[in-house]
Structure formats: C-alpha cells, structure tokens
Structure 1
Amino acid sequence: MKSMKLNVITKIMLLMLIPTIVWSEEAIDFNTDFLDGEGTENIDFSKFSHANYVPPGDYSLDLEVNNTKIIAEQPVIFFNPNYDKKVSLACITPEIYPLLGLKEEWENKIQWLKDGQCLDIRSIPEMSFQGDLAKNTLKIKIPQAYMEYQDASWDPPTRWDDGILGAFLDYNATGRLVKEQKGNGKGTQTGITATGTMGANIGPWRFRADWQSQNGELNKRSQSWAWNQLYAYRAIRSLSARLTLGEQYLSSTLFDSFRYLGVSLETDESMFPPRLQGYAPEIAGVAKTNATVIVKQDGRIIYQTEVSPGPFRIQDVNSFGGGTMDVTIQEQDGSVTSYKVETSKLGTLTRPGQLIYQFVLGKPTKDEHNTQGPEFSLGSLSWGATNNTTIYGGLLASSEYQNVAIGFGRDFAPFGVLSGNINISRAQMGNIDNNRTLSGNSYNITYSKQFDEINSQITFAGYRFSERNYMSMPQFIDRRYNGDTIDSGKELYTIIFGTALPDYNTNLYLNYSHQTYWNRPSSNQYNMTVSNYFDIGKMKNVSLSLTAYRTKSRETTDDGVYVNLNIPLENNDSSISYSGSYSRGTHSNNVNYFSRIDNRQSYNISAGTWDKDKLTTSGMYTYEGDATQLNASGTYIQDEQSALSMQIKGGMTITPEGGALHRNNSVSGGSRILIDTNGIITVTT
C-alpha cells in the first residue's frame, strides 16, 4: 500500500512539472486513467490542466524580470486568487514590487489582493508569471514600455540598497627623502604629503570627512593638518538627487568652486546609467625623473600619484567643482614645475524634457572653518528643450555679490557639439575699495567633435573672455574680506585634440591652453605627442614617440623635448627602451628595462647621463597587494643628489559583519563591497 501511494505521488509531481515550462494559458486535459492506487478520486486534477500551475505553498525562488535575474532565493508564496480557484499566482508583496523596475506612474494604478499583501497582476496589462520549479525560478514578463530605463551595467533606483552599517578610512600618502651633495644645500630633506577620507554609513546617510596633511622641509617646513570637508549626505532616489548638509565645496558647471557651510539639493549624475554621465577633465605633462604629481583645487589636494620619467596623461581626476586646477610636478632631482588646468565642463546635452537642477543655501567659510562673507543662495537648471538643444542658467546671490548665468548647448550633427554661456557679476566692495560697485561680464564658448572619417576627436575646445571688473565668488571673498590681490583673468584658450592614422600606425595628441590676465603676464601650457608603432624583424609592436612641451607661468618657464623608443620583450611582460630629455639647462639620456614579475608586481631600472656628463641611475617598484598599493622609487645623480620616494595607498573598512584592510582603487570615500566567504581566506577578486 505504501509503495502504491508513493507511485501516485510521483506521477502527480510529473504532471505538475510539465506545465511549468509552458507560457500559454490554454487548458490542457490529462488522461488520469493510468494512475492506479487508492485515494485518486479525492484529488482535483483539473487544477493541473492550467499552464504554469504551481501548488499553493511557500517556495524559495530566484526572481527574473524579462530574462534578467534581480534577486536570488527570495521567499515566494503561491496562492489561489479569490476570482479563480483553479489558477495559482505568485504573491508579489509590497517589499518585492519595487524590485520589478516599473515606472513610478504605476504606483497609482496597481491594485492589491489579500488585503494589500499581494499584487493583482490584472492591474498591469500583459504582465505574466511562470513558476519554473525545475530551475527554481519565478520568471516575470512585463512590457518594456512599463519599465524604467534599463542598462546591462546599471540597476534602476527601485532596486538600490542603502548598504550595511560601517565605518572606513581611506588614505593616499607619499613620503620623499632628498640628500643634496653640492653647494650650500648639502644635507638631507624630507617631506610627507597625505590625503584621504574617513567616514561612516548609517542607514541612508553617509558621513564624510576629507583630510590632508603636509610636513617636512620639502613642503616648505609646513606642519599642517586640514579637514577639507565635513558633511553628511543621502540619496533622494525618486529625484535622482543628493541632499547634503555641512561644510563642502560648491560643484557647479556655471560658477567657480568655493567652500561653504550649508545645505544643498542637486541632481546626482552618478545615479544615472554610466553612458549618460558627463565630461571629466584631463591633465597632461612631462616628468623628467621619477616624480610626484599633485593636483590641487582651491588649495586642497584632490589627486596625487607617482609617475615615471616621460610624458603622462591623467584621466581619472575627480573634479569637485568648476574653476581651475593647480598641477605641481615634484621631480626627484628637487625641481618643481607648476601650471594650471581649466576644468570648466563642456555644456553637455540634457535629454529632452529632463531637468538637471542644483539648489544651495549657505555661507562661505575660510581655512579655520569659520564663516566669512554674507549668506548666499544658488539655483541652477539645465533643461533639455529638444533632442539636440539644451538651455541652462543659474543665479548665485547674496546681499553683497550677485552672479547670473545663462547659456545653451546644441548638437549640430554632424558638425559637433557647441555650447556657450555668459556670466554677469556685480560686487559691492565696501571699504576695501572706496565702497565701489564693480560689474563685469564673462563669455565662454566650448566645442567638441568626433571626426570619424579621419579618426580624430576634439575632446574639448574652449574660449573664455572676462572683462576687467568681472569677479567670481571666491575672488570677491579674497579681495573684499582678505584684501588679497587676485589674478584677474582676461582670455583663456583651451584645446584637447587627438587623431589616429591607422595606415601609418601613428597617433597624434595635443593639449594646449593659453591664459592672459589684466594685471599680470600671461601663462602658457602645451603638450604635443606623436607616436608610431612598427615591427623590426621578429620584434613586434616597437614604438617610437616624440613629445614637445612648454610650461610658462609667473613662477616657472620650462620648454623641452622628450623622445622614447620602446622594444617589447618576452610576450610583452618586459621591455627595453631608450629615452632622451632635452630642456632648458638639463639634458638626459637613459636606457631603461621594465619587467612584470606577476599580475601584482612590476619594476623598472634605468641608467644614463644627466646634464650632459653626470651619471645617473633610477628605479621604480610597483606592488598591488590585497591590503595596499605601493610605489617605491629612487634616483641617483652623480655629484648632485640622491632621492627616495614611496607612495602607499589603501583603506580600512569595519562593519558589524567584520572588517578588512584593502586596496583603494576607486575614488576616496567611495562604495565598497564586503563579501562573506564563510571562513575561506584564499578567495581573491
């Protein structure tokens, strides 16, 4: 008898599994005469004639929406709805519903069953379920027109999570030691520069403190520790916006950056799909030796890295606001080169009908975090008027200073993207300037174009003209409240251009800027590189590059040429190269060897001549460990100096689930993932 009951149950289960792979709602009739055993007359087999029927009960299933898995092993209840006891439905609870990714408008249209516990799929036309027990999956089909924007590398806000409770410390520290061997400067000098972010995540709120520290003789004997920003923020998902409270730097495409204490609500483009996010600045230069590149904005360090001798291009700087970035190249031979890079963003187009906005209330602050100047308010909007035209503008206003901006951006396909804006400032100078009111205008035009037919691209081209009495908000504060003499910009030309000549295996790159002033000499900076790839017998992908550069500012003037010949060896895991650098007052020639030890370690060593007749050697070692990233380098110049430098970059994260030391490959203070490996310590990513 027992075996007979098992036989009946087995056959019933087979009947249950057959319909779960069918999408049609048409009924299917089964011949139950082959079922033998007692009790079959008490079983209602008509339910199993409906496609997709799953017996009522509790299940743990993966959820798929339009063939995309959205969550694994989700508890799901199947039930018979009161309007048709012969069908079974999956209970989509109010907690599961946001994961479906439906547009916000459906929240007011949908209906619920079982006293608001389960979604009534009849209220969403053409929505359907399929319970696939064989694959342990609930497959949900929803018309694409009802869904939020979908992207393979991005989830809509309804599927986002606030994350877990945790605290962290990210750091990026560089230490330098220089031993002079000639002149009155004999002796040893040291310097340490460190930046980072510490913070905590509590529910939807993120608390952040950005810090920096500099000390030592190489940093002008300064012993400073500074908190750059102290603030808390949270995402407002329904608005694709960020609400921020505290002390922070203004980030605006229309107005220059300055620090203030207050509150802001602004569109957060990081909530957009990656392909819809905007322009980032690029920095180019040439290092004569192993060097440290430091990028500052409004006095705070926003980026630092170690580079090898030769041309470099930095494309991952996270600009915290419009204005100008100060770039410093600290060479291991003790020389320092400084120049400025314009970071005004290209007038990116906004999607038709969409508004990108920013609203700020606050009061400017100075170095000691005390407020300075009048309270201000700021509002700006960018509106996608048509498919190819964007109109934008803004107002920054206080009792003593006002600045209004209006502009446009248009895609003149196939001729490129052009944008332009005008800023009008008005400043009451008080006793510092005989109570005068100074007014001025600033005009800005930018252009971008991809020339597919010649494999070329103008990434950024811009022109700005400012009248003598035009002032930005930070310039007004420095002049009115600190009595500083400000650099009054007049004209600025900027262009970044690249082209490829595939028939000749040649690439050309140009980065140029020219700034004139009303009250001091002009500054120039350009970097042009031509590179060619070719084969010599069995040696493949040999490269030859020539870089010409100029950096001219009030502090320094440097012109030079850099040439490099690189020959790959051993499956591109190593190479040998020649490099020559020729600039004002210094000439160097070096032979270099590079080798990759494994996926985490590499090194290079070089030897040659410096300043025509002095011998020099240098080397660099790079290690990317689980807990930190390390760059160590050294340089020796005969009868001149020897220098050592080390950069350590990493972070520490602590949560109730555990903690870890880790690398810091992303923006300092950014998101991180904590994975429970159930005690296994050999898991790597």
Structure 2
Amino acid sequence: MTFPVYGAETQDDKSRDYARNIVEFESELLRLDDGSKVDLSRFSYGSSASPGTYRVSIRVNNNEVAQEDVEFKVGEDNYVYPCLTPRLIQLINFNEDKLPDDVKQALASPSTCGNLEKILPSSKFDFDSNEQQLDIEVPQIYVNRIARGTVNPELWDSGIPALTLGYYANAYDSQYDSGGDYRSVYASLNAGLNIGAWYFRHNGGYNWQKDVGGEYNATNTYVQRDINAIRGRVIVGEYNTTGQLFNSIPFTGAQLASDERMLPESQRGYAPEIRGIAKTNAKVTVRQLNTIIYETTVTPGAFVINDLYPMGYGGDLEVTVQEADGSTQQYTVAYAAIAELLRPDTHRYSVTAGKVRDSGVSDEPMFYEATYRRGLTNLLTLYGGVQASENYQAYQLGLATGSLLGSVSFDATQSHSDLGGNAGKKTGQSYRVSYTKLFDETNSNITLAAYRYSTKNYMDLLTALQSRDAVRDGYDPNSIWRSKNRFTVSLNQGLPETWGNIYVSATLENYWNGNTSYNKQYQMGYSNTWKRVNYSLNVGKSKTSTGEEQTNWYVNLSFPLWDGWDTRAPYLSLRYNQDDQGSKNEQAMLSGSFGENNKYTYNLSAAHDSNGGTSTNVGAGWTGSVATVNGSYSTGKGYNSTSLGLSGAVVAHSGGVTFTPHNSDTYALIEAKDAKGAKMAGYAGTTVDSFGYALFPSLSAYQMNEVSIDPEGSSINVEFENTSQKIAPRAGAVVKVKFNTNKGTPVLITSSFAGENLPFGAEVLAEDNTSVGIVNQSGAIYARVKEDKGTLLVKWGNDVGSSCKVNYMLAPGIDESKTSYIQQFSSPCNPVQGPASPNGSRTELASVH
C-alpha cells in the first residue's frame, strides 16, 4: 500500500523546475479483477479540471480583479493550468520595474497559452470550481501596490434593464367618544427605471385626510449615470445640492459630483498617512485605543501606510515598528476626524447648475454652485466653494487641520444679496469653527463642537429669495428670520470601570430679528448596565423662539424576561417621565419577535398619564414573501385608534415581476429555476418564487457582496451547482445573479459489473453525456436523473472494457415534495458495445491546486 506523497518535486525535469507539490494515489486499491483500473493521474497535482473555457472570478493576491472567461489547457503529466493571455497579464498588474529581464521579455510577447508558473516560478494559482474562483498569487514585489478594499471598476455591474417600485403606506383611523373622528392615508413611492448605465428615478408621496382630500407631491425626478474616470456621477433633473459646504438647495438642472463609495474602502473618510523608516525587514503595528487596527511588514528604508480604514471620530494612533533584530520604535500619529478632513492627495467635488426649486419662494432663478475639498497633508485640508445667481453671490474658503490637540476646521463665507426695492443690496459674512477630539486618558469624546457667527446682513440663498419676496409684497425684509449665533456641542464621558457613561448635548441659537428671540435645547444623561438590565437617566430643557420653555426628566429600564441575551427573549421596558408643568407619565411595554429570521414581531404596552388617564396599545408585524405588514390598536380615555401599514418593493424584468418585503436602492435579482422555496440567507420572507426568482436587498455599492442562497425549503429534486456568488453592483443597479440548478430525482442503484462491485469514484453519465453522479465507496451508483426511465453510463477508463451501462425506471406515483427521499433499487451494469462515451466535450469542474 502506498500512501499519498506530499511535497515531491520533479527536480530532474528542466521543463518542470516550476514544480508544484505532487500527490500520488495508489490506484491498485481501486483495481478490478480483470486488471482494469481507474485513471487517477489527473489528480496528481490536486483535483483537476477538464480542459475548456470557464467563466470565473479572478483574484490576484486576494484582491478581486475581474470576472472573465479563462481557458484551461493540459500540460505535462495531465497537469491543467489557466492560459496566461495579454488580458490576464493586464489584470495581474505587474510592476515591470521589479520583474527579472527574462520574465519581462516573456510577458512582453506571451505565447498563445503560456503557463504563469513556468514564466515566474515563484507564482502559483488555485482554482476552486465550486466557487468558480481562480486565485493567482504573485510575490508582492512583482505587482503594483493597490489600496486595501480596492474593487476593479471593470467589476462594477450596471445590472439589467428593470423597473423598480418601492413603497410604504399607512392608514390611520381614530374615533372619539364625542362623536368625531379622524382618518388619514399616506403613501410614499420610490420608482426607478434602469436602462444600461442610465438610471431614471422618481420619489414622491400621496397624503389624504378626511374632509380635506388627497394630494400627491413629487419630491425628485431625475436621471443619473456613473462616470468611472472621475469617480463621480452626473444627475439631470430635479435633485438637491450636496449640502457639503453650503445649505442644500433643491434644484431643476444638472449636477456632477464625486461619490466616495467609488473609492476603495480604505480610501474613504479620513485617516492620516503613517510614515516612518525601517532599518530592517520590520513589522509595523498600528493600534487605536489599545486595539490593533493594522499590521504589515515593510522592507528596509522609508515606508508609508496610506490605506487605513476610517476609524470613527477619534483616538490617536500608536505606531510600533519592530525590527528584525528585536529592537522597536514607537511614536504617536494624531487622529481626530471631522467632516471636512480628507486624506492626503484626495479630493471631493461637486458642480451644479439649475433653477431653484422651492415651493416656499415665488422667484426661482437660475443658480450655479461649485465646491471642492482637497487633502494636502495629514494636518491640512483646504476647501472652498461658490454660489452665484442673478441677485445673489456667496463665496466660502476654509481649512481643516488635525493634531494631537484635536481636529479643527474654520471657514468664512461672504454673501452679496440684492433684495430690490428700498431694501437695496446687503453684504454680510458668516464664520464657523468646528472641533472634535477623543481624550484617551480620560475617555472623553467631544464628538462635535461647532460655533457659527453671522453678521446682520449675511444671508444664505433661500433666505435672500424669501427676503426678496417680502420686499416685493410690501413687507419688511426683517420679518424673515436671520441667524446671528449658533452653538452646538456633543460630549460623551466614559466613567472608570463599570460606572457607565455620561453624555451632554446642547444647541443655542439666536437671531438678528430680536434680542430675546432664540432657540435653546439642553440634554444630559447617564446610562449603564447592571447584569441584564439597561438603565438610563435623562433630563432635557428647551425653549423655542416663541418663548415656550419646558424641562423634562426621563427614567428608562429594559431587560429580557429570561436569562441570556437571546434575541428571542421578550424585552420588558419601563419608562417614567415628568415635566416642570406637573405632567407625569408612566409606561410599560413588552416586545419581541419570533419565527424564522424573526419574521413575526409584537408589542404590548400600557400607560398612565396624569392628564389623559390610562391607555393601552397592542401591535404586531409580519414579514411575508411579498410585503411587510404591521398594525396596531390603542384605546384610552375618550378615544380608540387603529393603524395599518404596508411596505415592500416590486421589480419588473425580462423574466417577469418579482416582489420583496424589503425596500432597497440596490438589488440582486436571483434566478434559480425550479428552486421555489429556497431562501435568501439573513432576510425574513425572502424566498424564490414559483417563477424561479427572488430579490436580495441591501447591497453595498461598488464593493464585493456575497450573495448566498439557502436550498432549504426547495424541492429535494433540485440540486444547486453553487450556492454563493460575489457581485459589485453600481448604486441603484439591479444585478442578475444566476444560480444554475439541476432538476432530477435522486437515485441509489445497487449494481455490479462482471460479478464485481463497480469501482469507487467512477463517473456516471446521462444519455446526453452530462455528468449526473458517481459510484460511492460501497460500489453503488448515486445519481440525479431527469427522465422517468433511461440508461446511465458508468465510466472509469478510456477503453470499452472500462465502462458499462445501467438501465433504470423510476417508481410511479411519487409526487415532488420537500421531503427528503431517494429512490433505491438494483440493476446490473452491462458491457458497452462500441465507444465508451459519445464524441464531444464535457465541462466537468473540480478543484485545481
């Protein structure tokens, strides 16, 4: 008996000095009495694939680069390898400056079907047929470095032509003991039409009230298209400006703006560059709040790390460089992020031209806006913008900086407004400063502190238009509120050990229109956990510009009704609140969920109010295969009310119409014929319908998403060739993902040939020469057949004597069901007359190592 040999290398064969690990199998173990054997030579270099062309996902050094048709050919010793074509060379992205001369020459004029492992012996590949994935590994020194999380734009999928409609509807009815009632219906719609790379969108809502009537209001109607080269998007129609530097303005026109989602994950948001010098081959470790967030090895000399993932708003970075000789360097890189900060050498932009679209003003002039931000260094980001209209201009310039003291941004805006009439022209300025910092030593996190001061004559665009309307109608332009000072702060303070957390937030704003006119809101709270109980104490104080002032106190407790943090355990929540006017309210609520993926939800509550008496409420929700339904009923002193809600989406495509209970902007349309009832992993109610389709929601645009299907729930007569695929959809796309299925009845046939068991591992082919099964260890045939009767070919070699045929006939009267069953019977395997298999090629896939 010979055991598999791992690591053997063909040292004496010059043409195989790129040798891979060899595994030798003892075929005598599978030998028949007549001397015939099963040919196992093609498995010597790992399991093999038949030569042919396959559609595969290509990864280079663990980075997804493309989905392409790749040809596989047979080399020496039945060794199967992928052809190295100019296209594959392009995808590998070689660093030609680092390649050896002979490799560079070979790549410059590749052969018709070259073998990468012969050309560059230190490289290797691995093909997984189950995932349809080809992994290529090339020493990092020979390829151009790309940022972590990079997805090749060639993989961004615009999807299929489709019509989408997302909806939410709610009906409300309230009856009063006095005889009155109130009824209303509201529905919002998000419609889309995708044609190639062009996406048409419409958003709107319908509102109906008894005795008032109904009205539909369109929010936005536009068409968009991505532009890969500038990592941005063009939008034409009714939309809104980005609101990055100036207040957001609804417009009818065109916009060109960058989309951060098109960047690699490690290039989004803000994170500083880390630079240093290594004396040897060193390991660089980056920690934030004592947690390792990045680790890599660098070669001797200067290094730079510029692909850290965004890490929230604070926490300085501790860098450790561990040299090969054991010595270390340690230093700190400041990190605190605000919205204006960008990574070095990155930028964001937007350009808009259109008419102001606002129902609150009568004058809707043309206006133009352009904004730009650029990261210069770790410490400095510059930004600025301009807004211009016929009677209004505004210019902004600002800078943001990050340091050990925190991140600060400062900008100034100059506005020029022509109000017409006696009001004339007004010029003013607005100054804003923002600050954020996490103090590691005290666990104090100033999430955001911002102050804005505006001079008396400063106006933003909409304020200027409203003031022009007032002047035109004969009113004082000072009747339009103009902000003077605005201050906001949000602070979180973690307490030592298990003492919990304190937060404080405040907003103060006053106006030029009156010395006593201002808004103010304060909130302060404490939260903690004791065993299974979450509890919090909160106090809030507010005063509006009309002079109304109120203080509220809140106490909240929540905990599961039994041990553990099981999501199925019902939660009991208790709340008490009181205000300074003497009003008091107590409430108890029991809520939870059950069923597969928590598809059923419920809540029961009772409350007592010092002004309104006692009230009770019961609510329930259900996520079905078509829509999500929820409803509630409540009753209290002098009233009772009922509500009913419905939400979901529908997508029309070339294969029909598919429903989903989940609203989303981007979908994967699953096609799995004959797999009715199969589920989408993680989404309640999402199953393959009777037409073979389902919708997989909530995909991340421009990033690789794994789309999985769970065969549970489908017929046992259906077999999936694979259950998981990866896609990178564009924002708003409907990407079709096809899961190939084989429908047939599973059979287990006890058989023999020439009085002996069939050889283990022999292939089983249907009459159309497709592979339908295999011979198991006991010599029985396991196969999945499509016809009620027919003939199977069992093949374990290339000569006539190494194959036989088995006739079968299924038992009648067995209906398809989701119950697992296999038809079992006995049938002899008869000698084959003529060629062992029909002419033609098959595409059987296995794993190539």
Equivalent AA in structure 1 for residue 148 of structure 2: Q
Match of 1:423 in 2: 413
Whether the 8 Å CA contact 1:101–1:156 is kept in 2: the answer is no
Q: Which digits, 9 at most, give the CA deviation of each residue in 1:408-440, with x for residues without a partner?
A: 111113x22111111110011223x44x11111
Q: Distance in 2 between matches of 1:189 and 1:116?
A: 79
Q: 2:17 aligns with which of 26, 30, 39?
A: 26
Match of 1:298 in 2: none
User: What are structure 2's unaligned runs of at least 5 residues?
Assistant: 23-41, 99-103, 271-336, 682-849
Q: 1:616 to 1:517 in 2, by over 3 A?
A: same
Match of 2:601 in 1: 602
Match of 1:348 in 2: 340
Match status 1:139 vs 2:129:
no
Q: Distance in 1 between matches of 2:187 and 2:89?
A: 46
What is the DSSP-based 3-state SS (H/G/I as helix, E as strand, rest coil) of the residue aligned with 1:527? strand
How does 1:179-578 map onto structure 2 within 5 Å? Answer: 179-181=175-177, 186-216=179-209, 221=212, 223-274=214-265, 276-278=267-269, 346-367=338-359, 372-413=363-404, 415-431=405-421, 433-434=422-423, 436-481=424-469, 485-501=479-495, 503-519=497-513, 521-535=517-531, 541-554=532-545, 557-571=549-563, 572=565, 573-578=569-574
Equivalent AA in structure 2 for residue 515 of structure 1: E
Q: Distance in 2 between matches of 1:134 and 1:26?
A: 27
Whether the 8 Å CA contact 1:98–1:158 is kept in 2: the answer is no
Whether the 8 Å CA contact 2:269–2:343 is kept in 1: the answer is no
Equivalent AA in structure 1 for residue 608 of structure 2: T
Whether the 8 Å CA contact 1:560–1:581 is kept in 2: the answer is yes
Match of 1:616 in 2: 615
Whether the 8 Å CA contact 2:608–2:615 is kept in 1: the answer is yes
Q: 1:567 to 1:268 in 2, by over 3 A?
A: closer
How far residue 59 of structure 1 moved from its aligned partner, in angstroms, is 3.4
What is the DSSP-based 3-state SS (H/G/I as helix, E as strand, rest coil) of the residue aligned with 2:458? coil
How far residue 562 of structure 1 moved from its aligned partner, in angstroms, is 1.8
Q: 2:155 aligns with which of 152, 159, 164?
A: 159
Q: 1:609 to 1:361 in 2, by over 3 A?
A: closer
How far residue 458 of structure 1 moved from its aligned partner, in angstroms, is 2.1
Whether the 8 Å CA contact 2:618–2:634 is kept in 1: the answer is yes
How far residue 150 of structure 1 moved from its aligned partner, in angstroms, is 2.4
Match of 2:636 in 1: 637
Q: 1:150 aligns with which of 110, 133, 148?
A: 148
Q: Distance in 1 between matches of 2:510 and 2:113?
A: 67
Match status 1:661 vs 2:669:
no
Equivalent AA in structure 2 for residue 422 of structure 1: A
Match status 1:580 vs 2:576:
yes
Q: Distance in 1 between matches of 2:241 and 2:89?
A: 37
Match of 1:680 in 2: 675
What is the DSSP-based 3-state SS (H/G/I as helix, E as strand, rest coil) of the residue aligned with 2:465? helix
How far residue 633 of structure 1 moved from its aligned partner, in angstroms, is 3.0
How far residue 500 of structure 1 moved from its aligned partner, in angstroms, is 3.1
How far residue 507 of structure 1 moved from its aligned partner, in angstroms, is 2.5
Q: 1:420 to 1:138 in 2, by over 3 A?
A: same
How far residue 558 of structure 1 moved from its aligned partner, in angstroms, is 4.1
Q: 1:613 to 1:260 in 2, by over 3 A?
A: closer
Equivalent AA in structure 2 for residue 618 of structure 1: N
Match of 1:37 in 2: none
Q: Which digits, 9 at most, give the CA deviation of each residue in 1:129-159, with x for residues without a partner?
A: 53659998643235656143222xx624232
Q: Distance in 1 between matches of 2:432 and 2:122?
A: 51
Whether the 8 Å CA contact 1:257–1:474 is kept in 2: the answer is no
Q: Distance in 2 between matches of 1:254 and 1:192?
A: 37
Q: 1:161 to 1:613 in 2, by over 3 A?
A: closer
**Superposition TM-score, scaled by structure 2 size:** 0.58
What is the DSSP-based 3-state SS (H/G/I as helix, E as strand, rest coil) of the residue aligned with 1:148? coil
What is the DSSP-based 3-state SS (H/G/I as helix, E as strand, rest coil) of the residue aligned with 1:680? coil
How far residue 167 of structure 1 moved from its aligned partner, in angstroms, is 1.1
Q: Distance in 1 between matches of 2:246 and 2:592?
A: 46
Q: 1:242 to 1:500 in 2, by over 3 A?
A: same
Equivalent AA in structure 2 for residue 351 of structure 1: R
Equivalent AA in structure 2 for residue 383 of structure 1: R
Q: Distance in 1 between matches of 2:366 and 2:121?
A: 55
Deviates more, 1:552-561 or 1:444-453: 552-561
How far residue 442 of structure 1 moved from its aligned partner, in angstroms, is 0.7
Match status 1:671 vs 2:666:
yes
Deviates more, 1:624-633 or 1:247-256: 624-633
Match status 1:76 vs 2:74:
no
How far residue 91 of structure 1 moved from its aligned partner, in angstroms, is 4.0
Whether the 8 Å CA contact 1:493–1:513 is kept in 2: the answer is yes
Q: 1:612 to 1:362 in 2, by over 3 A?
A: closer
What is the DSSP-based 3-state SS (H/G/I as helix, E as strand, rest coil) of the residue aligned with 2:671? coil
Whether the 8 Å CA contact 2:84–2:116 is kept in 1: the answer is no
Q: Which digits, 9 at most, give the CA deviation of each residue in 1:516-544, with x for residues without a partner?
A: 11115211223333222213xxxxx1222
| Percentage of identical aligned residues | 25
How far residue 230 of structure 1 moved from its aligned partner, in angstroms, is 1.2
Match of 1:593 in 2: 590
How far residue 620 of structure 1 moved from its aligned partner, in angstroms, is 2.9
Whether the 8 Å CA contact 1:79–1:89 is kept in 2: the answer is no
Equivalent AA in structure 2 for residue 190 of structure 1: R
Q: 1:412 to 1:134 in 2, by over 3 A?
A: closer
Aligned length: 558
User: What are structure 1's unaligned runs of at least 5 residues?
Assistant: 1-13, 31-47, 81-85, 280-344, 536-540
Q: Distance in 2 between matches of 1:610 and 1:681?
A: 51
Deviates more, 1:268-277 or 1:158-167: 268-277
How far residue 118 of structure 1 moved from its aligned partner, in angstroms, is 8.5
Equivalent AA in structure 2 for residue 594 of structure 1: S
Equivalent AA in structure 1 for residue 666 of structure 2: S
How far residue 120 of structure 1 moved from its aligned partner, in angstroms, is 11
Q: 1:649 to 1:89 in 2, by over 3 A?
A: closer
How far residue 381 of structure 1 moved from its aligned partner, in angstroms, is 1.3
Q: 1:263 to 1:445 in 2, by over 3 A?
A: same
What is the DSSP-based 3-state SS (H/G/I as helix, E as strand, rest coil) of the residue aligned with 2:467? helix
Q: Distance in 2 between matches of 1:423 and 1:558?
A: 35
Equivalent AA in structure 2 for residue 247 of structure 1: E
Q: 2:166 aligns with which of 156, 165, 170?
A: 170
Q: Which digits, 9 at most, give the CA deviation of each residue in 1:437-481, with x for residues without a partner?
A: 111111111112223333332222211111121111122222224
How far residue 252 of structure 1 moved from its aligned partner, in angstroms, is 2.7
